[in-house]
Structures are given as structure tokens and as C-alpha cells.
Amino acid sequence: MIVNLRKTKEIVFHRPSARYSPHSLITGIEQVVSAKLLGVTFSHNLKFDEHVKNILTICNQRSYLLKCLEGQGLPSKELHTVLCALIVSRTLYALPAWSGFLTADLIGKIDAYQCKAIRWRYSGKLKMSNFLTKQI
């Protein structure tokens, strides 16, 4: 197989406290600090702050769609179905792969978004912490 050097990225995972300056083994490959693999953003220090930020950005964009659908008169049962299909599914995607690395702060940010959806009356009591306790 021929490696396309323009599309290939290298990420080196290491401890945050380690004083390590990685050098690429193959010249011409860009070294990055985070990479998206199958929809999950991995960082070089195995923190998922960037992944949670990406998820919440997507969810906020999709919330606009829910507001538009609500304005068009879509009943709350169908709004809940759309919420589960577009937002909850995105939040839960590959959860076993990254949930063990979440801090309480990141879980709180995801729960805060879910609480907004509850205030908007789009969903029942969906809390990220409930899903995490079942996963761990």
C-alpha cells in the first residue's frame, strides 16, 4: 500500500507531565496534537475537552433545527424523536471509547446542555451522568 503523505497525520500520545519532544519517524508526515478518528477527537494527552466542545457545538447547531420545527407546529412527541435522532445519538456515539476519560467538569457541560433541552420541553430527564454510570 502506498501512503499518501498529504493525508497522513501522526499523533504521539504521552503523559502531560513528561518532557518529551517527539520526532517523526517518517519525514513529510505532519505531526498533530489532536486527530479525529471515526468521529471521535483524540488529543495527544488523552483529554477529551476538544471532543466535548465539538459535540456541544454540533448539538447547539441542531437545536436551531428543533426551534424551527417547533415554530412550524411539530408536536412535542415528534420533537423528542428528532432530539433523540439528531442530538442524543451524537452525544452517545462511541461513548464507551471516551467516557472513562471525562472529568466531572466535562460531564457537567454535557448535562447542562441536556438540561437546556429539558427546559425547552424537547426531552424528559436525559442526563449524561446516568448513561456514564451504566457504561462504567
Report the alpha-carbon distance of residue 68 to residue 24 in Å, rounded. Answer: 48
Whether 82 shows a pLDDT value over 60: the answer reads yes
For the chain, state the CA radius of gyration.
19
Contacts of 131 (CB under 8 A, 6+ apart): 92, 95, 99
Say if CB 55 and CB 94 are below 8 A apart: no
What is the structure's pLDDT at 124? 57
What are the extents of the domains in the chain?
Answer: 9-43, 49-135
- pLDDT category, 96, cuts 50, 70, 90? confident
- pLDDT category, 92, cuts 50, 70, 90? confident
Report which listed range, 33-37, 113-117, 125-129, is most confident: 33-37
